[in-house]
Amino acid sequence: MTWLDEARLDDVAALEALDRKEALRSLATSGAQVRRSLLAAREAGIDSWSPQDRPRSVLVAAIGGSAVVADVLDLLAEPHSPVPVTTRHSAPLPGWVGPLDLVIAVSQSGRAAGPLALAHEAARRGAQLLTIGAADSPLADVCARARGTHVDLVSTASSTRTALWSLLTPALYAAGRLGLVEVGEEVLESVATLLEARADECRPSSESFVNPAKDLAMAFSGVIPIVLADGPLAGVAGRRLASGLARTARIPATHGTLPDAAAEVVACFDGPLAGAGRFGAPRGPDADIFADPYLDAPATLPLSLLLVRDASPDPSRLTRVEADRVNLATAVAESARDAGVKVREIEASAGAPLVRLASLMSLGDYAVTYAALGLGVDPTDSPHVADLRRRTDH
């Protein structure tokens, strides 16, 4: 069984030696990414867009680590957008997309096959095109030929996970200018400020007992995590965190969002990986008080529940649906504890929806990076992923 090395997490030199592509440093630039990307979006001409230019529909083309751009736009547009916002990871482009529609294609390298193919087809049909990615890339070239709007990527980060805000900010700014989401420059500035504060509290020199990301990383040690979100906003952050555990820290994780995932999560508490299930170690009067949890524990890793929660709302202003979801989250956590499953909760900061989302995603990004480093692996280089690319490169 492999455990995270807390001593390594507090050894700045050891972290720097493992973090060869400087993932932590790239995450620390997130606030700057917001501000620089906003400037790049203005320079590209998006500041001249207005609700009068609103398209019939918006399709976001993104894949892999960039797909969170589509998730965030879909989340924020749902309550406000007067036109539908849909997502697509690869070709074919839906038949209804035409000259009245806007396609936003996102790719850090500008070479991702799915978004590139969708941008090609959108250009062929005469759709409006906004592309976000590397300058002088195939994606930028497609956009130029279609007389669309291309925003150059401002981050030099080695992965889409650490370049997130360079990809997300132009798309959010454009959607805000079109009146699809309530995200203006003030909200983006608040996000940048939050991300800078997160970078300070999660810096490598900050020790585990005061560093929230290192502390959360330790919660993933020697367990099989279930990431459960208490609603749609937390659900986007929860999906990203579970993906980051697998892709960055090499820790397999499952995730779900309440209320739909409640039953399937709670059912696991009676299974072989739960502490008090039919297959687990005895609890209560039949428990062996001298049992060593490390030497005498089952060979399998135990379950752990990470509950990702939106900011605590004012109870007097909760809708019935929101109140039911809060109560359900509390009930699932209580059920987990009764079953002997470790429970950890993280909660969003107060503020606008994008600020709350940024607070959860940023903490998760730092935590999975520290989890990888605590396990002694490079957070940005996976030999098996590289091997898969070689096997599938035609």
Q: Where are the domains of the chain?
A: 6-13+198-374, 28-194
On the question of a common fold for 6-13+198-374 and 28-194, the answer reads: yes
d(CA 266, CA 256): 12
| pLDDT value of position 284 | 44
3-state DSSP helix/strand/coil % of the chain, to nearest 5? 50, 10, 40
| pLDDT value of position 91 | 87
Residue 289 contacts residue 220 (beta carbons within 8 Å) = no
- Give the global pTM: 0.91
**Which of the residues in the chain have pLDDT under 70?**
1-2, 275-299, 394
Quickly name the fold that domain 6-13+198-374 has.
Rossmann fold (3.40.50)
| pLDDT value of position 289 | 58
Residue 1 contacts residue 301 (beta carbons within 8 Å) = yes
Structure token pair of residue 76: 């924020």
| pLDDT value of position 312 | 79
Q: Cα separations (Å) of 377 from 188, 282, 321, 362, 373? A: 33, 35, 42, 20, 5
The CATH code for residues 28-194 is: 3.40.50.10490
| pLDDT value of position 279 | 47
Question: Which residues, in sequence order, are bridge partners of residue 61?
Answer: 88, 105
